[in-house]
Amino acid sequence: MSFVNDVIARVKEKNPAEPEFHQAVEEVMESLEPTIEKHPEFVKAGIYDRIVEPDRTILFRVPWMDDKGNVHVNKGFRVQFNNAIGPYKGGLRFHPSVNLGIIKFLGFEQIFKNSLTTLPMGGGKGGSDFDPKGKSDNEVMRFCQAFMRELFRYVGPDVDVPAGGIGVGGREIGFLYGDYKKLRNEHTGVLTGKGIEWGGSLIRPQATGYGSVYFAAEMLQVKGESMEGKTALVSGSGNVAQYTVEKLLNLGAKPVTVSDSSGYIYDEEGIDRDKLAFVMDLKNIRRGRIKEYVTEYKNAVYTPIDSSRDYNPLWNHKADLAFPSATQNEINEKDAQNLVNNGIKAVSEGANMPTTPEGVKVFMDNNIMYGLGKAANAGGVSVSGLEMSQNSMRLSWSSEEVDNRLKGIMQSIHKAAYETSESYGHPGNYPMGANIAGFLKVAKSMLAYGIV
């Protein structure tokens, strides 16, 4: 067995029943294989075994009362994975499927993603199995307050800076920040994704989606192509998906799908700006289901999720580009094959780990430009890093300034991933390039600190 296989085997043995964490570790470790020979000093210092074990895992009870006076208890998580290059940084996820293995996979990914951003941020992630769907604003507020009432002990602007993610948007960040400010009596950059009036950064809401499209544009440029006129499949209809659609429109592409956890819509004529405004109102204000799109736009077709099917028909339309922007493992082997059969050129992952390992293999075997999540969706945390900088300076930058920096960061990430893949003899192998480039910076820092 090779050295990395031994590391993976130990992770599986020590962390049973955490399949998503195993998957994330396996994906990164396999890419890191070529670093073993080049860096015997990393092996000697136990870097590979240390990087897969979180610095600290915080688990807590979150009791809250609903509008009828019933008491509920949810689980709270914060995994502070690695702070070798900066304070722990990473989002929160509120979704009924959340468990420790999912938070660990996200926190582990975040180490390498944050390293790629060029900004000084370590990796962390948190969340809860709380389901915001169907809850009143007051219930969400009481939950967020109960969550922060425990989390505030472990976070701080130089320690750990959480942000949004699935189920955590501007509303939730407001309630969380309000409680932190009350408990600590300080107005400081402890969370990112804040409102503009109270310390947020312009372009943070747009950043992940915009960044994922910028990354796709960079990949296309290597092949002498542009976004203009390309047809795109987008999944999800939340924060990332919405601003992916917006940037696709800005760059002259044609998005034709969006989805939620109940089903997806296919609009052959394209989702234009008016239709996007409808989706934003539907999902952000009315908190409705994507199915309503076809009541408003009769030419579009809605297909509900059918769990008896072994593929997702969203990925079975003719298109040039795919932007999975909902959740993990939403593209399996068959979906990847369907995309290839339909002429897909590039995949840019807005979501974290949306493609299964078998799906990734199909993309690699077919020479599809494959922008893995930790590179393609790093725009969100990058602008979070810029929000931290602005908070520290007590200044705020214009939209143009932040967007230019975001674009520059996405170009740097693409360049680092591409050039690293080249220097390791596999030009265009973005998973290898991004994982190695992200890892080297963290590993060198860990080496400098000694065995800690």
**Residues that are catalytic:** 125
Quick one: 63 or 195, whose CB is closer to ligand NDP?
Answer: 195
Q: What is the dihedral of CA 434, 439, 444, 449, to 10 degrees?
A: 150
Q: Which helix (H) or strand (E) holds 233?
A: strand 231-234
Q: Report the SS3 class of residue 91.
A: strand
- Tell me whether residue 89 or residue 95 sits nearer to ligand 2IT (CB atom): 89
Q: Under rule CB under 6 A, which residues in 134-193 are in contact with ligand 2IT? A: 163, 165, 192
- Going by the DSSP 8-state scheme, the letter that residue 124 receives in this structure is E
Closest to ligand NDP by CB, 102 or 369 = 102
Q: Which is nearer to ligand NDP, 42 or 123 (CB)?
A: 123
Verify binding: residue 122, ligand 2IT, rule CB under 6 A.
no
* Shortest Cβ 409–ligand 2IT spacing (Å): 13
Interface pick for ligand 2IT out of 22, 39, 89, 334 (rule CB under 6 A): 89
The answer to whether 201 contacts ligand 2IT (rule: CB under 6 A) is no
CB 91 → ligand 2IT: shortest distance, Å? 3
Asked if 242 and 384 touch (Cβ cutoff 8 Å), the reply is no
Least distance to ligand NDP, CB of residue 147, Å: 16
Asked if 352 is part of the footprint of ligand 2IT (rule: CB under 6 A), the reply reads yes
Phi first, then psi: what are they for 270, rounded to 5°?
100, 145
Selection from ligand 2IT, ligand NDP, none that 90 binds (CB < 5 to 8 A by kind) is ligand 2IT
Show the tokens assigned to 383: 């602008």
Identify the CA nearest to 61 among candidates 124, 127, 147: 147
Q: How far is the CB of 50 from ligand NDP (least distance, A)?
A: 25
Give the pair of three-digit tokens for residue 325: 């922007």
H or E, element range at 13: helix 3-14
Nearest approach in angstroms of CB 70 to ligand 2IT is 30
Pick the closer one to ligand 2IT by CB: 90 or 371: 90
Q: Do the Cβ atoms of 240 and 209 come closer than 8 Å?
A: yes
350 binds, among ligand 2IT, ligand NDP, none (CB under 5 to 8 A by kind): ligand NDP
**Dist CA 94 CA 376 (whole Å):** 22
81 CB burial (10 A radius; 0-12, 13-18, 19+)? buried
Two tokens at 377? Answer: 């969706």
For residues 173 and 177, give the distance between their C-alpha atoms in angstroms, rounded to a whole number: 6
Could you write out the DSSP letters of every residue in 289-339? -GGGHHHH-TTSEEEE--TTSSS-GGG-S--SEEE--S-TT-B-HHHHHHH
Under the rule (CB under 6 A), what is the footprint of ligand NDP? 97, 164-167, 169, 208, 236-241, 260-262, 325-327, 350-352, 377, 380
CB of 348 to ligand NDP, least distance (A): 12
Coil, strand, or helix at residue 201?
coil
From 29-37, 173-181, 376-384, 398-406, give the range in contact with ligand 2IT by CB under 6 A: 376-384
Question: Binding of ligand 2IT at residue 254 (CB under 6 A)?
Answer: no
Stretch that binds ligand 2IT, among 84-92, 96-104, 395-403, 425-433 (CB under 6 A): 84-92
Q: Which is nearer to ligand 2IT, 48 or 147 (CB)?
A: 147
Q: Which of 285, 286, 231, 282 has its CA nearest to residue 257?
A: 231
Residue nearest to ligand NDP (CB): 238
Contacts to ligand 2IT by CB under 6 A: 89-91, 113, 163, 165, 192, 352, 380-381, 384
